[in-house]
């Protein structure tokens, strides 16, 4: 398309990684507390309905990660203008407005935050993969 200038979408690794890290911490807490939580009615029902419900934590990690991207999604879909998605109320999405303002003023910090997000996402992915490998190993060893 001649004459159209396409502006690149800013990197959103940092916002998603904050959410994914929060989801990972929440998942870890739930997995570590599963014996205590087994006493609650919700966990009893969940365990009865799906005995292997712990295997679905990557979905939780992904959904909590998406929480950090909601302002950008709303802006990209043209539901709200950028001025609205940068208002203080959008700080409930992992301090989105605060970090957006910092990234606008300091491009070096923007790049640093995006690299931090990329490293965090890589670490979460490797850690999750290692956790599931250990679960598979336990399952295989228990069948021998």
Establish if 7 belongs to a structural domain. no
Per-residue pLDDT, 142: 81
Q: How far apart are CA 120 and CA 112, in angstroms?
A: 12
12-46: pLDDT as tens digits: 678 889 999 999 999 999 988 988 888 888 888 88
Establish if 110 belongs to a structural domain. yes
Establish if 143 belongs to a structural domain. no
Q: What is the pTM of this model?
A: 0.77
pLDDT at residue 10 tops 80? no
Per-residue pLDDT, 55: 83
* C-beta atoms surrounding 47 within 10 Å: 15
Number of domains in the chain: 1
pLDDT at residue 2 tops 70? no
Q: How confident is the model at residue 9 (pLDDT cuts 50, 70, 90)?
A: very low
Establish if 88 belongs to a structural domain. yes
Establish if 8 belongs to a structural domain. no
Per-residue pLDDT, 3: 54
Establish if 4 belongs to a structural domain. no
Establish if 132 belongs to a structural domain. yes
70-97: pLDDT as tens digits: 988 888 898 988 888 888 888 888 888 8
- Secondary structure (H, E, C), 16-71: HHHHHHHHHHHHHHHHHCHHHHCCCHHHHHHHHHCCCHHHHHHHHHHHHHHHCCHH
97-140: pLDDT as tens digits: 888 888 888 888 888 888 898 899 999 999 999 998 998 898 78
Establish if 122 belongs to a structural domain. yes
Domain around 83: 13-138
């Amino acid at each position: 398309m001649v004459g159209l200038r396409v502006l690149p979408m800013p990197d959103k690794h940092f916002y998603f990684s904050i959410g994914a890290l929060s989801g990972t911490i929440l998942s870890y807490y739930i997995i570590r507390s599963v014996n205590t939580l087994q006493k609650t009615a919700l966990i009893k029902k969940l365990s009865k309905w799906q005995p292997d419900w712990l295997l679905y934590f990557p979905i939780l990690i992904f959904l909590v990660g998406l929480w950090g991207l909601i302002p950008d999604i709303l802006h990209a879909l043209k539901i709200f203008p950028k001025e609205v998605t940068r208002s203080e109320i959008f700080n409930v999405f992992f301090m989105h407005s605060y970090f957006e303002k910092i990234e606008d003023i300091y491009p070096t910090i923007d790049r640093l935050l995006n690299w931090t997000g990329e490293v965090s996402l890589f670490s979460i992915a490797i850690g999750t993969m290692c956790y599931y490998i250990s679960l598979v190993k336990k399952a295989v060893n228990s069948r021998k």
